[in-house]
Each structure stands twice: as structure tokens, then as C-alpha cells.
Amino acid sequence: MPADFVVGPFTIGPGNPAASFSFSWPPGQHPNKGPVFCMFSPNHPAQAEDVKLFITDYAMGRGVNGPVYYSGLVSNSCSQAVSARLFGVYFPEFQADWQM
């Protein structure tokens, strides 16, 4: 069964890219391996305008002595800063498929 998490809020300024993010779990804690999908959910901007937040350069990495981590860049298509939360979903049932 999938599990989820919510982090934030963050303020994402206008631009491409406007911000970077990363997250991880402590070594030995689930889900240090295995697929994690995420997206940013924007709040309404102060002035009426369509908001699109894009995640690019999303990657899973592993430090020499540290845990697995996930990172990416966020772009904001509108002309003003917006508040947003990062939503993530991971799949513990597939963790064994990702272990090496």
C-alpha cells in the first residue's frame, strides 16, 4: 500500500528555476530505497494569475556515508511568488525491487 508525506509550506518565487529542494530519511529507516514520486501544490497567488509549478532535474542520490536522498529544482511560471506544499508518495511494497 502506498504511503505519503506533505512538507511545507515553501515560498516559490517566479522564474526557471526558482528554488531547489531535497529530502531524505535517516539511514536504516524506510524508504531509503525505492520509487518516490512528488509534486508541488500551489496555493492561490495574491493577484489573480494562473500558477504552474514544474519540477525538473529530479533525482535520487546516495552519499558516501549518508542515506539515500531525493532532490530537484522547482520552476514557477507566473510573475509572483506563491506558497506551495510538497506532496510525496512512496511504495514500500516495491522497496525490495530497488535494493542492490
Read off the pLDDT of residues 33-57 as tens digits, 9 standing for 90 and up. 667 899 999 999 899 999 999 999 9
State yes or no: pLDDT of 68 exceeds 70. yes
Read off the pLDDT of residues 83-97 as tens digits, 9 standing for 90 and up. Answer: 999 999 988 777 666
Q: Is residue 100 part of a domain?
A: no
pLDDT of residue 90: 84
Q: Is residue 59 part of a domain?
A: yes
The model's pTM is: 0.81
Determine phi and psi for 96, rounding to 5 degrees.
Answer: -60, -30
- Largest Cα separation within the chain, whole Å, is 49
First-last CA distance in the chain:
22
Q: Is residue 76 part of a domain?
A: yes
State yes or no: pLDDT of 21 exceeds 70. yes
Per-residue pLDDT band at 98 (split at 50, 70, 90): low
Give the range of the structural domain holding residue 82, as residue numbers without chain letter.
Answer: 3-94
Q: How far apart are CA 64 and CA 83, in angstroms?
A: 34
Beta strands in the chain (DSSP E): 3-12, 15-24, 36-42, 53-62, 68-76, 82-90
Q: Is residue 62 part of a domain?
A: yes
Sequence letter at residue 83: S
Q: Is residue 83 part of a domain?
A: yes
**Total structural domains within the chain:** 1
